[in-house]
């Protein structure tokens, strides 16, 4: 499996000449700190200050100097004036960063904002927690809000991408609390996103909002999870920059983060399909964001054949859609998009996907309105969020659910398996780690015995939650014996032995099962998780994992049905899943699920390419430049420092 992209190069001066007519507010930061004078003074705005004062531990541990004098790598081959910040040992250490003066986003706080940092962590800080920023001044939580975790990933709660040791990176965090969203960037590439809701704290004016005219804390954490590192430039903006604007800002530069936003290059907003899999009758295509360019000459090839897609411009987006080409199951496909970019010339992009034996992401379900009052007692009038109607051919068996004798006993949305918008599911309840299921998107399948029992306590009056969800009968024509596999993204949280049923005994043991039936025969169990920590089937909290199963189909099997059950549930937790794939092959072939993005790069800058793939582990990666293997480039990310014109070309990753 391979993916293809192109990197072009431009000079900083040329890029500034191409700047579009963005608003002045968006172009200029409210604060910037470049440390060129060997102190905390600001390039724009007010200076940073030491949280513990000018004579405290932070000031004593802070060093200013050049990359050369401090014995660390240059940035893009050029020496830079930087600051070394010390490890944090208590909440009083770190730096105060002034925040914007005015509230925004429709609330009383600064809800929409962007921060960028050009950072380097050496090997001594690798594989540790690295607190970057405490946003709320410990009002909601004393913990820092944003970290690089011991796996070198960026985020909060959920973590993404790769921040390599001994390598300069431009870290970007975009908070758009007004739209309940946060986005994470490494070197201009969006590596992840999540909701801005935090538990019971709403997004607007919540944990991620800045206090107007106040301070946020940098490189600070309440329990010392803030390692030593180096920073070349910090920039704060009182707007949420777009994906294109972040791409234009790119990777770290010795000169610091540009104050004026560069022109936005064209880029791929979304592939269709974009998860590496598709149904036989799904559309194929792409959504282009033209940025500040003019796009002409769009062509779309499917498996080498030129197609006649419908091309629809709308604002900055251009949709290129080939309607339902009717592809056979168990086949792999390649889409090549080409167009002329007024700033960059001809650009080519490639997407690969597979049509498996069965694929279900629940995105074609028609979601309706919820039917039960929200927990606060007010009517929940949200629409397009929930249904108990499964996809065509799927069935729900609630015959073992306790009889519904009282309409005030048990929330009807969660009376057995249901389907709901992932974001609505966790935001309309108590969250309780449901939002960690970031592999999910759109509509998902949910068995939530916790929420079911939260209305009227049906467990103690009626009995335990027992519900089953079955696929259609899946044809195995042409499938070789012992090659059938099952893959899905899962969110599971166990609990048991603490909720008495009508008999007064606390025998609840939330249990997840998957049974398969070949040719209508007796069920065969292929997965069993339960909530008994002392038992052989205990599966601990796994709110965001991908599950792979070998189904070992016998030689005489002509069809199979798969049944997923959640049983013996009290007021426990949940099991939810998404992106279910049934396919043939002794192992699951690798499929690229996150395409690397073509980029512009500054001469002397740093470029990071990132890809993601699914398939049976272990997966291997090899990055190539113009068809030649790049030595040592065998991870999901490839970072090139001191990028020069000779480095521009066609980059490919083979998985």
| pLDDT (tens digit per residue) in 547-570 | 999 999 999 999 999 999 999 999
Q: How many domains does the chain contain in total?
A: 3
The residue behind tokens 């939260």 is: 454
**Residue 438 confidence (pLDDT):** 85
Put simply, whether the predicted model's pTM sits higher than 0.75 gets the answer no
Q: What is the pLDDT of residue 608?
A: 80
Percent with pLDDT over 70 in the chain: 88
In this structure, are 156 and 293 located in the same domain?
Answer: no
Residue 50 lies in a domain: yes
Domain identity same for 299 and 225: no
Q: For residues 428 and 370, give the distance between their C-alpha atoms in angstroms, rounded to a whole number.
A: 10
Residue 210 lies in a domain: yes
pLDDT digits 0-9 by tens, 569-600:
999 999 999 999 999 964 455 666 556 766 66
Tens of pLDDT, residue by residue over 23-61, are 334 468 999 999 999 999 999 999 999 999 999 999 999
417 with 541, same domain?
yes
| Reported confidence tier of residue 10, pLDDT bands at 50, 70, 90 | very low
- Pairing between strand 146-148 and 154-156? antiparallel
- Determine the pLDDT at residue 199: 63
- CA angle (524, 470, 552) in 5-degree steps: 35
Residues 282 and 337 in one domain: yes
| Residues 61 and 87 placed together within one structural domain of the fold | yes
Which of 539, 557, 584 lies at the terminal end of a domain, its last residue?
Answer: 584
On whether residue 256 sits in a domain, the answer given is no
Assign residue 292 a region: left if phi > 0, alpha if psi is -120 to 50, beta otherwise?
alpha
Instruction: Give me the numbers of helices (H) and strands (E) for the chain, helices first please.
Output: 7, 45
514 and 375, same domain (yes or no): yes
* DSSP-assigned states of every residue in 576-599: EEEEEEEEESSSPPPEEEE----E
Is residue 262 situated within a structural domain? no
Residue 217: is its pLDDT beyond 70? yes
- The reply to whether 257 falls in a domain is no
- Whether 408 is covered by a domain: the verdict is yes
On whether both 299 and 237 belong to a single domain, the answer is no
Q: What is the CATH number of the domain that holds 318?
A: 2.60.40
Greatest CA separation found in the chain?
79
Last residue of a domain, one of 560, 584, 608: 584
Q: What is the pLDDT of residues 65-92, one digit of tens each?
A: 999 999 999 999 999 999 999 998 777 8
Provide the residue range defining the domain that includes 311.
267-355+590-654
Q: Shortest CA distance to 529 belongs to which of 494, 573, 478? A: 494
Residue 455 is predicted with a pLDDT of: 84
Find the CATH number of the domain harbouring 521: 2.60.120.260
Is residue 345 situated within a structural domain? Answer: yes
Domain shared by 473 and 530, yes or no: yes
Give the residue-averaged pLDDT of 190-196.
88
* 377 has a pLDDT exceeding 60: no
Can you give the pLDDT at residue 589? 54
Q: DSSP string spanning 630-645? A: PTT--SSEEEESS--G
For residue 296, pLDDT beyond 90: yes
pLDDT over 50 at 197, yes or no: yes
- My answer on whether 148 and 210 are in the same domain is yes
Q: How far apart are CA 493 and CA 144, in angstroms?
A: 25
User: SS3 for 348?
Assistant: strand
User: Of 180, 214, 249, which closes a domain?
Assistant: 249
Contact predicate 514/526, CB 8 Å: yes
| C-beta atoms surrounding 159 within 10 Å | 20
For the chain, what is the mean pLDDT? 88
Same domain, 434 and 506: yes
List CB contacts of 193: < 8 A, sequence separation 6 or more. Answer: 181, 182, 183, 184, 438
546 and 629, same structural domain?
no
The domain that contains 155 carries what CATH number? Answer: 2.60.120.200
Residue 613, φ and ψ in degrees, nearest 5: -145, 155
Question: Which residue from 169, 149, 168, 170 is spatially nearest to 160, judged by alpha carbons?
Answer: 149
Query: Does 379 score more than 70 pLDDT?
Result: no
Q: Catalogue the E-assigned strands of 380-499.
A: 386-387, 395-397, 418-421, 443-447, 465-470, 474-475, 484-493
| Pair (215, 308) in one structural domain | no
């Amino acid at each position: 499996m391979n993916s293809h992209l192109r990197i072009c190069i431009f000079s900083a001066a040329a890029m500034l000449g191409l700047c579009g007519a963005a608003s002045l507010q968006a172009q200029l930061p409210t604060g910037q700190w470049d440390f060129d004078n060997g102190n905390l003074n600001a390039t724009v705005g007010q200076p940073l200050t030491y949280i513990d004062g000018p004579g405290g531990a932070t000031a004593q541990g802070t060093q200013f100097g050049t990359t050369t004098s401090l014995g660390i790598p240059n940035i893009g081959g050029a020496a830079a004036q930087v600051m070394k910040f010390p490890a944090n040992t208590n909440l009083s250490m770190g730096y105060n960063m002034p925040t914007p003066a005015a509230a925004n986003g429709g609330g009383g706080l600064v809800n929409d904002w962007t921060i960028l940092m050009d950072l380097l962590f050496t090997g001594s800080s690798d594989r540790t927690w690295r607190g970057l920023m405490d946003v709320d001044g410990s009002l909601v939580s004393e913990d820092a809000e944003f970290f690089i975790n011991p796996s070198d990933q960026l985020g909060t709660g959920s973590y993404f991408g790769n921040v390599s040791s001994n390598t300069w990176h431009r870290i970007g965090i975009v908070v758009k609390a007004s739209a309940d969203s946060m986005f994470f960037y490494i070197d201009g590439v969006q590596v992840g996103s999540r909701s801005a809701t935090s538990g019971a704290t709403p997004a607007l004016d919540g944990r991620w909002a800045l206090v107007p005219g106040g301070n946020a804390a940098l490189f600070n954490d309440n329990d010392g999870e803030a390692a030593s590192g180096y920073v070349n430039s910090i920039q704060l903006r009182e707007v949420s920059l777009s994906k294109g604007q972040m791409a234009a800002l790119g990777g770290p530069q010795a000169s610091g983060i540009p104050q004026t936003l560069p022109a936005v290059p064209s880029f791929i907003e979304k592939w269709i399909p974009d998860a590496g899999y598709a149904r036989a009758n799904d559309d194929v295509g792409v959504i282009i964001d033209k940025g500040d360019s003019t796009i002409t000459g769009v062509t779309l090839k499917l498996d080498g054949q030129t197609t006649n897609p419908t091309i629809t411009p709308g604002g900055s987006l251009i949709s290129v859609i080939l309607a339902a080409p009717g592809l056979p199951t168990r086949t792999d496909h390649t889409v090549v998009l080409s167009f002329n970019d007024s700033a960059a010339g001809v650009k080519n992009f490639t997407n690969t996907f597979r049509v498996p034996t069965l694929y279900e992401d629940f995105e074609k379900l028609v979601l309706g309105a919820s039917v039960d009052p929200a927990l606060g007692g007010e009517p929940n009038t949200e629409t397009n969020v929930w249904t108990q109607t499964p996809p065509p051919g799927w069935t729900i068996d609630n015959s073992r659910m306790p009889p519904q004798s009282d309409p005030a006993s048990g929330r009807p949305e969660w009376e057995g398996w249901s389907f709901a918008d992932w974001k609505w599911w966790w935001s309309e309840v108590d969250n309780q780690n449901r939002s960690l299921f970031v592999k999910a998107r759109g509509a998902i399948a949910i068995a939530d015995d916790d929420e079911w029992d939260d209305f009227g306590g049906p467990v103690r009056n009626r009995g335990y939650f027992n519900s089953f969800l079955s696929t259609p009968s899946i044809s195995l024509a042409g499938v070789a014996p012992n090659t059938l596999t099952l893959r899905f993204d899962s969110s599971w949280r166990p609990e048991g032995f603490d909720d008495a049923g009508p008999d007064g005994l606390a025998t609840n043991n939330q249990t997840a099962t998957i049974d398969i039936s070949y040719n209508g025969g007796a069920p065969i169990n292929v997965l069993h998780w339960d909530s008994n920590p002392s038992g052989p089937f205990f599966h601990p909290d796994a709110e965001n994992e991908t599950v792979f199963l070998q189904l070992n189909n016998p030689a005489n099997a002509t069809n199979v049905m798969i049944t997923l059950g959640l049983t013996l549930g009290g007021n426990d937790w949940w099991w939810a899943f998404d992106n279910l794939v049934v396919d043939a092959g002794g192992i699951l072939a690798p499929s690229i699920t996150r395409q690397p993005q073509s980029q512009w790069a500054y001469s002397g800058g740093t470029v990071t390419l990132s890809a993601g793939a699914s398939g049976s582990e272990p997966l291997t990666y090899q990055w190539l430049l113009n068809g030649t293997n790049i030595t040592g480039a065998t991870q999901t990310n490839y970072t090139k420092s001191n990028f020069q014109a000779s480095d521009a070309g066609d980059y490919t990753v083979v998985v």
